[in-house]
Amino acid sequence: MQLQLIAFVLIIWNSMDYTGCQPHSSSRHRQHKVMSGASSGCQQGGCLTCSDYNGCLSCKPRLFMHLERIGMKQIGVCMTSCPPGFYGTRSPERNTCTKCRSECDSCFNKNFCTRCRAGFYLHLGKCLDTCPVGMVHSDAQRECVTRCSAECESCVNSDTCTRCRQGLYQLNGRCYSICPDDYEPNDNLMECTLQVHCEVGEWSEWSPCSRSGRTCGFKRGQETRTRQVLQYPSPFGNPCPEISDVKDCLVKKRKCLGEPQKKTNRKDRRNRNNRKDKESQEGRRERKRERDRDRGVGEREDSDNRNKTEHRHRRGHDSQTVSPEDGLTQ
């Protein structure tokens, strides 16, 4: 009723004829500025009744009537939602947009602000110029926020930090210089994250006994088995155990098929070794015979020398024992 009365007064004041929903063309109406998204007159179909100069007088169902001021003039606009600084109220007669309190930038109703104007701070739906005790104002959020503890840089309340000061790690709303047990520091996130330990699967079956990649031509070899890593550990988690295992094995020696050349080579090596042994034995015998011959020659020479010496001695002795008669005869 109040808006209808205002619209009626405006109609009379502007000396305009009411023409239902078919506005007359007017130079002044064509010149007035219309807000983006709102209907002017009945041209956009949001009006139920309208005036060619004052815009909408009533709106279609579920639309809000908003009085838009243009200089000294107000026009009615039908909108799907109210603009910032206004809140919508619904009634059986009419849906209207009502201005928020002066300190509110936006509101849910006349008693509950959702954002404050500059210089005011939101607290429990009200815009205050000073925050309550134990709280501080945030110029960026235009809100009253809880005073954080010394280790917090920002918080929800005094017991719940959302960001810790430099060098501290966050965990469940608290800040730690050293993370609790089962947690480890994450320098990228500056948080305490849960440690991840290594997990491995079951051992595989033992492999066949082998040696140097072969399964024949030997008696003693090795068997191996392995297992897979299912979960690799985090930097401070428990490391992985051994994922491979080796044990010695003993098998009956059997010949390798398809290797005749290698058998011949081994036989040739044995023959060469035997020949070398024979040659070395014969060499030793020959050297021994040579030594024996050298020793026999030496002994004969020594015997001859002794015989010559004795012969000279005997001749000398015989000359000394010659008789005088023999000397005269000579």
Q: What is the pLDDT of residue 186?
A: 93
Average pLDDT estimate for 246-268? 74
- Residues 6+ away with beta carbon under 8 Å from 143: 116, 121, 122, 123, 137
Per-residue confidence at 36, pLDDT binned at 50, 70, 90? very low
Q: Is pLDDT of 16 > 60? A: no
The terminus-to-terminus CA distance of the chain in angstroms comes to 201
Per residue in 106-128, pLDDT tens? 999 989 999 999 999 999 999 99
Does residue 6 register a pLDDT over 50? no
- Residue 237 is predicted with a pLDDT of 94
Measuring CA to CA, how many Å separate 207 from each of 195, 221, 228, 231? 35, 11, 16, 25
- In the chain, the percentage of residues whose pLDDT exceeds 90 is 39
Q: Most confidently modeled of 32-36, 182-186, 262-266? A: 182-186
Query: What's the average model confidence in pLDDT over 203-208?
Result: 94
Can you tell me which residue has the tokens 């088995």? 225
Of residues 91 and 310, more confidence is placed in: 91
pLDDT computed for residue 188 by the predictor = 92
Rounded to an integer, the average pLDDT of 140-147 is 85
Beta strands 112-116 and 86-89, pairing class? unpaired
What phi and psi values does residue 10 have, to the nearest 5 degrees?
A: -60, -40
Of 25-39, 51-65, 114-128, 290-304, which has the strongest mean pLDDT?
Answer: 114-128
Q: What is the pLDDT of residues 65-84, one digit of tens each?
A: 998 888 888 888 999 999 99
- Percentage of the residues of the chain whose pLDDT score is greater than 70: 74
d(CA 309, CA 53): 172
Mean pLDDT of 215-224: 90
Contact 12, 51 (CB under 8 A): no
According to DSSP, the residues that pair with 223 across neighbouring strands are: 247
Residue-level pLDDT at 323: 47
- HSE-CB at 207 with a 13 A cutoff on CA atoms is 18
Q: Which of 14-28, 284-298, 303-317 has the lowest mean pLDDT?
A: 14-28
pLDDT at 259 (0 to 100): 60
Average pLDDT of span 267-283: 72
Identify the pLDDT of residue 25.
36
| Cβ atoms of 29 and 3 closer than 8 Å | no
At residue 254 the predicted structure's pLDDT band, cuts being 50, 70 and 90, is: confident
Over residues 308-324, the mean pLDDT reads 61
The DSSP 8-state label assigned to residue 4 in this structure reads: H
| pTM of the predicted model over 0.75 | no
Mean pLDDT of 15-41: 37
Contact 234, 195 (CB under 8 A): yes
Q: What type of residue sits at position 142?
A: R
Residue in 71, 38, 7 with CA at minimum distance from that of residue 16: 7
Is residue 29's pLDDT more than 60? no
Cβ distance 145 to 133 under 8 Å? Answer: no
Residue-range domains of the chain with CATH: 40-99 (2.10.220.10), 199-250 (2.20.100)
